[in-house]
């Protein structure tokens, strides 16, 4: 036991992996309950229209139909994330606001009958004029989607720090660039599914969801119930990426339909419905004006972002703030002006998606920064190193960076990729690019106003000490939280990893945690399980001190031991000075039981008060920030514009890696999502607001043949605010990719494509326009 840790930092086997390779692991859609009914939502077929009449009479006659509900059958309460923007109803009242808006729900004895019924439901509409872009939404005389959002402006942000205008006067060089980020979708392979049934006054909800607590909390408010009367369980979840964080129409409808019918009700999305109601990434128009010194030091940044929010707000308000919040974390400058305008439009609502609000602005700023470097004749990595923040910095918008190693990330990425031998020296059609990113390690504030701790954990030990169970409502949606939390619990307890199991994602069985979002669980739930483990250990050491017999004549002191003279590792309690003096954890645990009863450990985590005082200061606060640098090499077919990514190096500053294998897995997936969004993915609509590509043939996620080799590297860093020195990786690793690949394409072609994705046609056109400019 000479190593510092027994389990932290080890590539231990995933907790869930046997279930997942044998097919026995159950996802929500795999569950069946006796007497279960099947339901579907009824969707609007207009982008903006008044509902004149809903005729369900033919559908009701269909044998096997159990219930059909619309707005008249449910409370007219409005909901959302923040009270000022509760703008969504359970079902549309009077008007539909996008093609795919939910009008009602049907349930029947089998799925075929539900689909047959949907065809028989007749909705009469009076079409209303609709808006599909922020520009249309903001136009004079544009139709109003909501009374409370004049000119359809849903969120307006003005955060100004320092004095940008003064800095602009002093700057050696000032440049303005504009970029466009597209709407994308999470691309979860498991479509959302919810099953609900009632037991007396309580309802049990099984849902593919990222947070059992938030689902419970929001459902309680919407349904006028007590949180304790709603039990939420998430079985295995087939990916989230932010798309399974909002409460969905499936959740609410399944509960109501189950109440009406007295039977369990299962509701699921078909794939296209995931696009309509899954709440993907916002489209953004971004303008950056940056002033620098002759040496490339950033003096100020003015940043204006116009956001297409879609029909409702939900988590979208946080996305809007995140869009500008974290730039100051990466680069060191005092003068910052961030203005944002989020408009509602008659398109599916947008929400949180991996890197929440940040990947598009990262793409834009990283591209912008490359242009500034080029104009000044500075190497792109050099300008990033010059401006990189460092540990101990506090940003003008109030974030404190305990550990921050962006400079080192750039240096390692530069060296590992052979940047110096490649940049500017590559053959025609080949290019190399860099991009920086990073993310919060958990949001500093809860989704709703509360003083609750962000994470609570409990560890229960069997009466004979042979097994322990860690309880937490952190949700493993594939990222591996069950595994790393077991590792940290085992480390904290000094108990064998193989003898600890985990009970998670069940509001009845496990303990409060806000769930899987904002890259929070390793840090926040990690602290809670670590402390719970240490609590058990404390009790064990106290008990052991009473039990250990010290030899009178053995050369060491006789009499009673003090607990602090002892430690426990891997299930063995031993004397620190004389490790040969030892007793097993199990023996001590059994004695503890005989004397005190149940042996449990408790842990909690609250990040404390974080951030500044300005409006919106809460968004972007976090106990710790990761940073990351990616370098990619590409080829561009000069005739077709087709981009091929050849190689990628990712360096992540994520503190101590609890399980390096799982960390690299996060980087691989984040990068894959990032190149998908850079090169192929875009949600498209026709001129009436109807979704055009709600399928994986026309919305192209990368396949195995599209993926380049990814060299994922971890910096050896330590985060003082993280359990065992750990901070985030899951979302941060997506954020550098878009800018990185875009910069590599620019390097290869000399032509900038200023909107995502970089389709072959756009690259072809940019190269063509460049040739035409040069010929003039």
Partner 1 sequence: MYLPNFEYFQPDSIEETCQLLSQFGSKAKLFAGGTDVIIKMKKELLSPEILVSIEKIDQLKKIEYVPGKGVVIGSGVTHNDLVYSELLHEKYLSISEAARQMANNQVRNLGTVGGNIGSAVPSADLPPILIALGATVKITGVKGDRTMDLEDVFIGPGKTVLAQDEIITEVVIPDQKMTGSNYIKFGLRASGALAVVGVAAAVQVENNAIKEARIVLGAVSPTPVRAKKAEEFLKDKKISDELLAGAGVIASGECVPITDIRASAEYRKDMVRVFTRRALRKAIDEGHA
Partner 2 sequence: MLKFVTDKDGVKRYLVSLKVNGNEYTRMVKANSLLVNFLREELDLTGTKKACEQADCGACTVLLDGKPVNSCMILTINADGREVITVEGLATNGKLDILQEKFIEHSAPQCGYCTPGILMSAKALLNRNPHPTEYEVREAIAGNLCRCTGYVNYVKAILDAAENQ
Where along the sequence are the contacts to partner 1 (CB under 8 A)?
111-112, 115-116, 270-271, 639-640, 642, 680, 684, 692-693, 696-698, 700, 702-706, 759-761, 764-765
Q: How many CB atoms lie within 10 A of CB 454?
A: 25
Q: How far is the CB of 283 from partner 1 (least distance, A)?
A: 16
At how many degrees (to 10) do helices 521-547 and 481-493 cross?
A: 30
Q: How far is the CB of 734 from partner 1 (least distance, A)?
A: 19
Question: Mind spelling out the 3-state secondary structure of 415-465?
Answer: HHCCHHHHCCCCCCCEEEEEEEECCECCCCCCCCCCCCCCEEEEEEECCCC
Q: Which does 418 bind (CB under 5 to 8 A by kind): partner 1, partner 2, none?
A: none
Q: How far is the CB of 756 from partner 1 (least distance, A)?
A: 14
Q: How far is the CB of 505 from partner 2 (least distance, A)?
A: 13
Between residues 610 and 701, which has the closer beta carbon with respect to partner 2? 701
Q: How far is the CB of 321 from partner 1 (least distance, A)?
A: 32
Q: How far is the CB of 165 from partner 2 (least distance, A)?
A: 44
Q: How far is the CB of 546 from partner 2 (least distance, A)?
A: 42
Q: How far is the CB of 760 from partner 1 (least distance, A)?
A: 7
Q: Which does 17 bind (CB under 5 to 8 A by kind): partner 1, partner 2, none?
A: partner 2
Residue for token pair 């809460």? 618
The residue count for the chain = 776
Between residues 480 and 571, which has the closer beta carbon with respect to partner 2? 480
Q: Which does 761 bind (CB under 5 to 8 A by kind): partner 2, partner 1, none?
A: partner 1
Q: Which does 148 bind (CB under 5 to 8 A by kind): partner 1, partner 2, none?
A: none
Interatomic CA distance for residues 240 and 356, integer angstroms: 13
Could you tell me if 85 and 313 are in contact, meaning their C-beta atoms sit under 8 angstroms apart? Answer: yes
Between residues 232 and 766, which has the closer beta carbon with respect to partner 1? 766
Between residues 316 and 665, which has the closer beta carbon with respect to partner 2? 665
Interatomic CA distance for residues 547 and 27, integer angstroms: 46
Q: Which does 661 bind (CB under 5 to 8 A by kind): partner 2, partner 1, none?
A: partner 2
Could you tell me if 385 and 296 are in contact, meaning their C-beta atoms sit under 8 angstroms apart? Answer: no
Beta bridge partners of residue 681, listed in sequence order? none
Q: Structure tokens of 537?
A: 């250990």
Between residues 496 and 689, which has the closer beta carbon with respect to partner 1? 689
Q: How far is the CB of 727 from partner 2 (least distance, A)?
A: 20
Q: Which does 596 bind (CB under 5 to 8 A by kind): partner 2, partner 1, none?
A: none
Pairing of strands 710-714, 643-653: parallel
Rounded to 5 degrees, φ, ψ at 313 are -95, -60
- Residue spans of beta strands (DSSP E) within 546-592: 566-569, 572-575, 582-584
Interatomic CA distance for residues 173 and 441, integer angstroms: 35
Q: How far is the CB of 426 from partner 1 (least distance, A)?
A: 23
Between residues 178 and 668, which has the closer beta carbon with respect to partner 2? 668
Q: Which does 608 bind (CB under 5 to 8 A by kind): partner 1, partner 2, none?
A: none
Q: Structure tokens of 195?
A: 């099953």
SS3 content of the chain, % helix, strand, coil (to 5): 30, 25, 45
Q: Structure tokens of 606?
A: 């609250």
Q: How far is the CB of 115 from partner 1 (least distance, A)?
A: 4
Q: How far is the CB of 19 from partner 1 (least distance, A)?
A: 24
Q: How far is the CB of 543 from partner 1 (least distance, A)?
A: 59
What's the gap between Cα 40 and its chain centre?
27
Q: Which does 55 bind (CB under 5 to 8 A by kind): partner 2, partner 1, none?
A: none
**DSSP H or E run through 188:** none
Between residues 221 and 762, which has the closer beta carbon with respect to partner 1? 762
Between residues 661 and 754, which has the closer beta carbon with respect to partner 1? 754
Between residues 271 and 550, which has the closer beta carbon with respect to partner 1? 271
Q: Structure tokens of 360?
A: 């598009």
DSSP-derived secondary structure for 132-174: -SHHHHHSTTPPPS-TTSGGGEEEEEEEEES-HHHHHHH-SEE
Q: How far is the CB of 765 from partner 1 (least distance, A)?
A: 8
Q: Which does 362 bind (CB under 5 to 8 A by kind): partner 1, partner 2, none?
A: none
Between residues 60 and 638, which has the closer beta carbon with respect to partner 1? 638
Pairing of strands 430-437, 627-636: antiparallel
Q: Which does 765 bind (CB under 5 to 8 A by kind): partner 2, partner 1, none?
A: partner 1
Burial of 516 (0-12, 13-18, 19+ CB in 10 A): buried
CB-based contacts of 611, cutoff 8 Å, min separation 6: 398, 399, 444, 617, 618, 620, 621
Q: Which does 672 bind (CB under 5 to 8 A by kind): partner 1, partner 2, none?
A: partner 2
User: Binding residues for partner 2, per CB under 8 A?
Assistant: 11, 13-14, 16-27, 29-30, 32, 112, 186-191, 236-239, 241, 270-271, 477-480, 661-662, 664-665, 668-669, 671-673, 695-697, 701-705, 707, 710
Between residues 250 and 381, which has the closer beta carbon with respect to partner 2? 250
Between residues 19 and 148, which has the closer beta carbon with respect to partner 2? 19
Between residues 202 and 711, which has the closer beta carbon with respect to partner 2? 711
Among 563, 588, 376, 604, which Cα is nearest to 463's? 588
Q: Which does 11 bind (CB under 5 to 8 A by kind): partner 2, partner 1, none?
A: partner 2
Between residues 73 and 706, which has the closer beta carbon with respect to partner 1? 706
Pairing of strands 37-43, 265-268: parallel
Could you tell me if 90 and 74 are in contact, meaning their C-beta atoms sit under 8 angstroms apart? Answer: yes
Rounded to 5 degrees, φ, ψ at 386 are -55, -35
Between residues 601 and 757, which has the closer beta carbon with respect to partner 1? 757
Q: Which does 19 bind (CB under 5 to 8 A by kind): partner 1, partner 2, none?
A: partner 2
Interatomic CA distance for residues 140 and 142, integer angstroms: 6
Could you tell me if 699 and 594 are in contact, meaning their C-beta atoms sit under 8 angstroms apart? Answer: no
Q: How many CB atoms lie within 10 A of CB 19?
A: 13
Could you tell me if 596 and 588 are in contact, meaning their C-beta atoms sit under 8 angstroms apart? Answer: no
Q: Which does 764 bind (CB under 5 to 8 A by kind): partner 2, partner 1, none?
A: partner 1
Q: Which does 310 bind (CB under 5 to 8 A by kind): partner 1, partner 2, none?
A: none
Q: How far is the CB of 59 from partner 1 (least distance, A)?
A: 14
B/e letters for 331-361, b = 16+ CB within 10 Å, e = fewer, are bbbebbbbbbbbbbbbbbbbbbbbbbbbbbb
């Amino acid at each position: 036991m000479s190593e510092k840790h027994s389990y932290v930092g080890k590539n231990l086997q995933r907790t869930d992996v046997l279930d997942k390779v044998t097919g026995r692991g159950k996802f929500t859609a795999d569950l069946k309950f006796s007497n279960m009914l099947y339901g579907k939502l009824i969707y609007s077929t207009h982008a903006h229209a008044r509902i004149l009449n809903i005729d369900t009479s033919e559908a009701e006659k269909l044998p096997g139909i159990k219930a059909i509900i619309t707005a008249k059958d449910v409370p007219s309460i409005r909901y959302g994330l923040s009270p000022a923007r509760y703008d969504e109803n359970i079902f549309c009242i009077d008007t539909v606001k996008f093609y795919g808006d939910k009008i009602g729900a049907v349930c029947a004895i089998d799925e075929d009958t539900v689909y047959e019924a949907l065809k028989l439901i007749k909705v009469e509409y009076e079409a209303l004029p609709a808006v599909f872009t922020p520009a249309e939404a903001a136009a004079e005389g544009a139709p109003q989607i909501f009374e409370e959002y004049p000119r359809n402006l849903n969120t307006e942000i003005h955060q100004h720090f320092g004095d940008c205008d003064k800095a602009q006067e002093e700057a050696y060089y000032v440049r303005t660039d504009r970029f466009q980020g597209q709407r994308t979708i999470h691309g979860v392979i498991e479509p959302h599914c919810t099953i609900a049934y009632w037991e007396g006054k309580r309802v049990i909800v099984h849902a593919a969801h990222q947070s059992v607590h938030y689902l419970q909390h929001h459902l309680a408010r919407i349904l006028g119930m007590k949180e304790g009367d709603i039990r939420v369980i998430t079985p295995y979840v087939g990916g989230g990426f932010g798309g399974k964080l909002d409460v969905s129409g499936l959740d609410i409808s399944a509960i109501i339909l189950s109440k009406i019918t007295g039977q369990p009700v299962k509701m699921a999305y078909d794939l296209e419905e995931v696009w309509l109601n899954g709440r993907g990434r916002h489209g953004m128009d971004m303008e950056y004006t940056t002033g620098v010194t002759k040496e490339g030091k950033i003096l100020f940044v003015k940043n204006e972002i116009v956001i297409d929010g879609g029909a409702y707000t939900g988590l979208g308000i946080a996305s809007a703030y995140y869009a500008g919040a974290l730039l100051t974390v990466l680069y060191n400058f005092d003068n910052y002006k961030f203005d944002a305008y989020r408009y509602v439009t008659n398109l599916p609502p947008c929400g949180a998606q991996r890197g929440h609000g940040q990947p598009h602005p990262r793409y834009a700023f990283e591209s912008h920064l490359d242009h500034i470097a080029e104009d000044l004749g500075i190497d792109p990595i050099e300008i990033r190193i010059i401006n990189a923040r460092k540990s101990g910095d506090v940003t003008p918008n109030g974030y404190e960076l305990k550990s921050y190693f962006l400079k080192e990330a750039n240096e390692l990425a530069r060296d590992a990729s052979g940047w110096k031998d490649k940049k500017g020296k590559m053959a025609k059609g080949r290019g190399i690019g860099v991009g920086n990113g990073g993310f919060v390690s958990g949001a500093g504030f809860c989704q709703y106003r509360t003083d609750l701790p962000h994470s609570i954990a409990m560890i229960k030990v069997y009466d004979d000490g042979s097994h322990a169970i860690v309880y937490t409502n952190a949700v493993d949606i594939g990222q591996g939280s069950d595994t790393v939390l077991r590792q940290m619990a085992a480390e904290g307890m000094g108990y064998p990893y193989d003898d600890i199991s985990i009970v998670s994602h069940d509001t009845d069985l496990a303990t409060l945690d806000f769930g899987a979002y904002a890259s929070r669980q390793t840090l926040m739930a990690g602290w809670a399980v670590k402390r719970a483990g240490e609590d058990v250990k404390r009790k064990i050491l106290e008990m052991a001190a009473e039990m250990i017999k010290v030899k009178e004549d053995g050369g060491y002191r006789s009499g009673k031991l003090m607990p602090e003279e002892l430690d426990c590792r891997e299930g063995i309690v031993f004397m620190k000075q004389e490790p040969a003096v030892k007793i097993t954890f199990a023996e001590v645990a059994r004695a503890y039981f005989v004397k005190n009863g149940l042996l449990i450990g408790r842990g909690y985590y609250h990040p404390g008060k974080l951030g500044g005082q300005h409006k919106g200061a809460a968004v972007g606060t976090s106990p710790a920030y990761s940073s990351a640098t990616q370098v990619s090499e590409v080829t561009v077919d000069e005739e077709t514009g087709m981009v091929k990514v050849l190689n990628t190096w990712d360096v992540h500053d994520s503190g101590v890696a609890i399980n390096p294998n799982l960390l690299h897995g996060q980087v691989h997936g984040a990068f894959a999502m990032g190149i998908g969004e850079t090169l192929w993915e875009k949600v498209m609509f026709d001129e009436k607001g109807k979704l055009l590509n709600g399928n994986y043939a026309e919305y192209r996620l990368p396949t195995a043949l599209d993926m380049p080799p990814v060299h994922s590297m971890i910096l050896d860093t330590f985060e003082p605010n993280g359990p065992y020195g750990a901070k985030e990786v899951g979302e941060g690793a997506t954020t550098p990719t878009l800018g990185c690949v875009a910069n590599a394409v620019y390097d290869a072609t000399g032509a900038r494509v200023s909107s995502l994705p970089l389709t072959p046609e756009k690259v072809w056109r940019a190269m063509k326009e460049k040739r035409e400019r040069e010929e003039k």
